[in-house]
Amino acid sequence: MTEPGHPDMERLEAAAFRRLAGHLRLRQDASNVALMGLAGFCRNCLAEWLAEASVETPQPITREEARNLVYGEPYADFKARQLEASPDQLAQMGRSLAENERVRAALKSSKLDAQLDDSFPASDPPGITQPR
């Protein structure tokens, strides 16, 4: 997401992340399973991404530490207040996760197509481009 032309983009992205995490703390009525069903990500995803991003830093954080940061409290405390997911919510979440995979595969395929296009010469020999 970082645009090379904006000198403060990393700071802006960090501020947006903090605002998103704060909003999700405020809206605890928006359950993780509902978020997963609608958007294909949830608080746990944010925590996982935060922990993964920290791996290359001098002070990596654990998944549990990341969850505490995203939730603003111990994960177990948040989870204790949540209702069990309904079968419909779980089914919607499954469809949403499948859509994530479909979109990722399509994006990967289009990137591969672009890489292949870039790797071929601008002008192919006539034996390749013209029928015999």
CATH number for domain 9-119, candidates 1.10.10.10, 3.30.428.10, 1.10.3340.10, 3.40.50.10330: 1.10.3340.10
Domain boundary assignment for the chain: 9-119
Identify the band that residue 45 occupies on the pLDDT scale cut at 50, 70 and 90: very high
**Euclidean distance between the first and the last CA atom of the chain, given in angstroms as a whole number:** 47
| pLDDT tens track for 93-111 | 999 999 999 999 998 888 7
| pLDDT tens track for 56-107 | 999 999 999 999 999 999 999 999 999 999 999 999 999 999 999 999 999 8
Q: Is a pLDDT exceeding 70 seen at residue 124?
A: no
pTM over 0.85: no
